[in-house]
Every structure is written in C-alpha cells, then in structure tokens.
A and B are shown apart, each in its own frame.
Chain A
Amino acid sequence: MIPAAFDYHSPQSLDEALSLLQRHAGDAKILAGGQSLIPAMRFRLAMPSILIDINQLNDLRYIEERADYLAIGAMTLEHSLEDSPVVRSSYPLLRDTAVVIADPLVRNMATVGGNIAHADPANDHPATMLAYRATVVAKGPKGERTIAIDDFFTGLFENAMAEDEILTEIRIPKPSANSGGAYTKLERKVGDYAISAAAVQLRLDGSKVAEARIGLTNVSAVPMRAKAAEAELVGKSISDAVMEATGKAAAGECDPSPDLRGGVDYKRDITRVMVKRSIQQAVARAKGGK
C-alpha cells in the first residue's frame, strides 16, 4: 500500500503555511499528525497533489491555562494531553478522552487540532469539545477568528473553516466550581473507533444539575450534541430515573449507521448506557471525586 505521488512543502512558520495554502487552495492538504491522512493515502482513498506539512510549527504545540480558558495549540500531541498536569487536575473529561484515542503510538504523532479539523464523527475530540463548549481559533489570509464549537462541524469531514484557513488553537472554558466531566467509550478493541461514546460536562448546584452539555461520538453523520438529553438533565436532581431519561433521550436523538460495530438499535442503547455512565462519573467528579 503505497501513496500516490505528491509535492511536499514543510513551512517553517504559520505565515508561510498560510501563504502556501492560499497559493494551492483546492489542491493542497494540511498534514498534521497524519495518522488518519497517511493511511487514507496509502489506500489511495486520499490523493492530494500537494501536502503542506505543518509539523515544523512548534509554536502551535502548547497547553496553557489562561485567564478563563485552557488554550491548546493545534499541533499539540495527544500524548501531551495525557502527560499534562493541568489537564490531569482540572480537565478530567479531556484526559479521559485523550487516553482512549487510537493507541499510544498513534497518540505520539496525532494532534488535537488534526483530530478536530478532520471533523470525523468517529473521532473522540469532537464530542468532548462540544461538551466543553470549546472555541476553535482559525487563522487565514484575513487574520484570526474564533469559531464556536457548536458552529464548527458542518458535515461529514466538513468544518466551518475556509479552504485557506488553518486551525491554530482550541480553547476550553475553565470549568467553574462544582463542575465535573467524563468520557465513556465502548470500543471493540484498543485502537478502534467507538461503537458509541459520550462526553458529559456538567455543573452542580447542590443536588441539582445547573448546567450540562453532552457530546456523542460515532452515532451521527456529523459530530453532535445531545440537546434533548441535556434538556432532560438540566435543572433536575440527580437520580437513577433522571440519568435513565437522559440516556434514553440521547438514544432517541442520535442517528447511528449500522456497521460491523453493531446495528442501529444496539448503538442507540449503548449510547444510552454511555451517557448514563458518563453522567455518573461526571457527578462524582463534580462532588470532588476523581
């Protein structure tokens, strides 16, 4: 399995990358971690004529806590999320997600920005970023702009960025007090995409859920938030019945396709279970557990 030939560019700065992208718009593909793109190229499912490798843009590799958000450079390796003390201490949903992406070797190459920009509903970060109400920063010839995650995923493998823009940063709002999150994923084996997975981020007010956002993985054509499920959860006191109703709502609003991972009914029901388990864990964390 050998990729088709292409022209290769390795810009040393973001500006150089952007100008290359502008010059070759339509023909070029950005090569970030390459862990999805290169296998697709080996099978000649992707045959870009030009590759712009942005792995030299080390300025885009950082995890920084700023005033009210966590800033993650687009080229940050998944592995760095696993290792990051701040992610470990304050962003458990993100850490849950990072450790179940593909396998440890892939995580040494794969990037957070690549995972999100690819807009694959089977990828794990989209659901998590939806649950976090993250913001995506994109830079293009006209400058920098931010895109709310809710507006970012526009179709299967399609995002809201223009062809000449590059994703540079992801911002996760700093969780307020009494918040907790969790990611629960069922996979056939390590390295596989999810059968279904649920990302939950919530804030408690006493025993009540004051805020909650739920993202789902691989049960829709476009990365999705489970809004009906969120509605079942917000304002309620946590109970088995509420969690069940929330899970059921998510099962009802997702739209999985049957494949080797299971049929539609199965995936819906697993979505219910994943949502419940993530809520349980998120609540435990919001109450100060790990």
Chain B
Amino acid sequence: MSEHEVTLTINGESVTRPVEARTLLVHFIREDLSLTGTHIGCDTTSCGACTVLVCGKPVKSCTMFAVQANGAEIETIENLAAAGTLHPLQEGFWEKHGLQCGYCTPGMIMSAKGFLADNPDPTEDEIRHGISGNLCRCTGYNKIVEAIQYAAEKLQAADAGGE
C-alpha cells in the first residue's frame, strides 16, 4: 500500500500532493483539490461524468489512478472560463439548452472539447459518436449536438479570423 508524491499541473497551476496509490484521479481532483465540477456517475467506466482532459485528451478520470497523472497536465471544467469569458462550448450549451440537471454537463463539455480539437468541423453523426462515451439522462442529446455544432462554428470562425 504505497504512498506517492504526485506533482501535476491542474488548470495551469502546479500542485504537489501525497497520494495513496489506489486513489482514483477523480477523487484526487474532487477531494484533494476541491474541484467538484468533475462528477462521478458510475463504477464501470460507462457514463463519462468524470471526463477531464489529460494532456489534452479527454479521459474518464474514474479509470485512472491519481499517481498515474504524475507530471501530466490536467484540465477540468473549472478552467474553461478562467479568463473571465465563457468558452464557446459553455456558450453553446447555454444558448442551445444543452443541459438540464447539469450533472453530466462538465464531462460532456470536456469530452466535446477534446473531440473538437481532433475534429473541428464534424458532421452530426460524428458528434454523436464523439460524445458516445458520455451519458445524459435529461436532454435526449438533440440539444447537446446543437450546442457542440454552435461551438464548432464559433471556434472555426475564431480560427479563420485569427489567420
């Protein structure tokens, strides 16, 4: 039952904490770092409520040990509007009513962020597959798809404008 010192970057900030080897990353984020925007919805790597970006890739933080994140860069929902303005995905979810109870929302948004980084101009079908690791029980997904389309357009426009 080993204890380890973990140093990682979370939302741009470097932190060092002792952790028990078996501590799940999601518990580390929620309990040790008090970032409760990342949620837990299952025990079988099925629901994606715990999705965070690890080195830019969306993963299920319930299926990774905190100790494995040593040296990694982690981004959670709390970072998206850190600069004071909402991220286009946050805007999209708000504009298009892409959330109801809000519980799956942080995971859904982080998943979509990783997905759009890979596929900035997706079809509806690609979006549906892209978020198929995240369960939502409230919305029926139509409006989540619209929210991601909104963000994709906005991000692309921003990219085009920046060139």
Is A–B contact present in the complex under a CB 8 A cutoff? yes
B64 pairs with A105, CB closer than 8 A: no
Which residues, 3 to 61 on B, are CB-close (under 8 Å) to A?
4, 20-22, 24, 43-46, 48, 51, 57-60
Q: Which of the segments A20-28, A34-42, A213-221, A228-236 contacts the partner chain? A: A34-42
A residues less than 8 Å from B125 (CB atoms): none
B43 pairs with A1, CB closer than 8 A: yes
Q: Does residue B120 face the partner (Cβ distance < 8 Å to A)? A: no
Chain A nearest CB, measured from B144 CB (Å): 15
B residues less than 8 Å from A35 (CB atoms): 45, 63
Q: Which of A39, A103, A191 contacts B43 (CB 8 A)?
A: A39
B21 pairs with A51, CB closer than 8 A: yes
Q: Does residue A259 face the partner (Cβ distance < 8 Å to B)? A: no
Q: Which of the segments B93-101, B111-119, B150-158 contacts the partner chain? A: B111-119
A5 pairs with B133, CB closer than 8 A: no
> B97-129, CB under 8 A of A: which get 1 and which 0?
000000000000001001100100000000001
Q: Does residue B68 face the partner (Cβ distance < 8 Å to A)? A: yes
B67 pairs with A104, CB closer than 8 A: no
Size class of B's contact patch?
20 to 34
A residues less than 8 Å from B59 (CB atoms): 105, 108-109
Chain B nearest CB, measured from A193 CB (Å): 12
Question: Contacts A79-B57, A109-B63: A104 and B22 contacting too (C-beta < 8 A)?
Answer: no
Provide the bound-state CA to CA distance between A6 and B23, in Å.
10
Which residues, 28 to 63 on A, are CB-close (under 8 Å) to B?
31, 34-35, 38-39, 41-43, 51, 53, 55
Provide the bound-state CA to CA distance between A35 and B133, in Å.
13
Q: Does residue A190 face the partner (Cβ distance < 8 Å to B)? A: yes
A53 pairs with B68, CB closer than 8 A: yes
Q: Which of A7, A38, A108 contacts B21 (CB 8 A)?
A: A7
Chain A nearest CB, measured from B119 CB (Å): 10
Q: Does residue A11 face the partner (Cβ distance < 8 Å to B)? A: no
Provide the bound-state CA to CA distance between A101 and B67, in Å.
26
| Identity of the chain B residue whose Cβ is nearest the Cβ of A50 in the assembled complex | B2
Q: Does residue B82 face the partner (Cβ distance < 8 Å to A)? A: no
| Identity of the chain B residue whose Cβ is nearest the Cβ of A100 in the assembled complex | B129
A8 pairs with B2, CB closer than 8 A: yes
Interface of B, helix, strand, loop or mixed by DSSP: mixed
Q: Does residue A175 face the partner (Cβ distance < 8 Å to B)? A: no
Provide the bound-state CA to CA distance between A38 and B51, in Å.
16
B48 pairs with A105, CB closer than 8 A: yes
B65 pairs with A38, CB closer than 8 A: yes
Q: Does residue B142 face the partner (Cβ distance < 8 Å to A)? A: no
Q: Which of B70, B114, B133 contacts A103 (CB 8 A)?
A: B133
Provide the bound-state CA to CA distance between A190 and B129, in Å.
8
> A200-228, CB under 8 A of B: which get 1 and which 0?
00000000000000000000000000000
A residues less than 8 Å from B114 (CB atoms): 108
Provide the bound-state CA to CA distance between A67 and B31, in Å.
51
B residues less than 8 Å from A39 (CB atoms): 43-45, 63
Q: Does residue A173 face the partner (Cβ distance < 8 Å to B)? A: no
| Identity of the chain A residue whose Cβ is nearest the Cβ of B131 in the assembled complex | A104
A residues less than 8 Å from B68 (CB atoms): 10, 31, 34, 53, 55
Provide the bound-state CA to CA distance between A73 and B115, in Å.
24
Q: Which of A4, A6, A38, A79 contacts B63 (CB 8 A)?
A: A38
B64 pairs with A109, CB closer than 8 A: yes
Question: Contacts A43-B43, A105-B133, A106-B45: A5 and B67 contacting too (C-beta < 8 A)?
Answer: no
> A83-103, CB under 8 A of B: which get 1 and which 0?
100000000000000000011
Chain B nearest CB, measured from A264 CB (Å): 26
Which residues, 92 to 127 on A, are CB-close (under 8 Å) to B?
102-106, 108-109
Provide the bound-state CA to CA distance between A106 and B24, in Å.
16
B residues less than 8 Å from A42 (CB atoms): 24, 43, 62
Identify 14 residue pairs between A and B in the complex whose beta-carbon atoms are under 8 Å apart, listed by A's number: A7-B1, A7-B2, A10-B67, A34-B68, A38-B65, A39-B43, A42-B62, A43-B43, A53-B68, A102-B133, A104-B129, A105-B51, A190-B129, A191-B46
- Additional A-B contact list (11), CB under 8 Å, known A8-B21, A104-B115, A105-B111: A4-B22, A5-B20, A10-B68, A10-B70, A34-B63, A38-B45, A38-B65, A42-B24, A53-B67, A105-B134, A106-B60
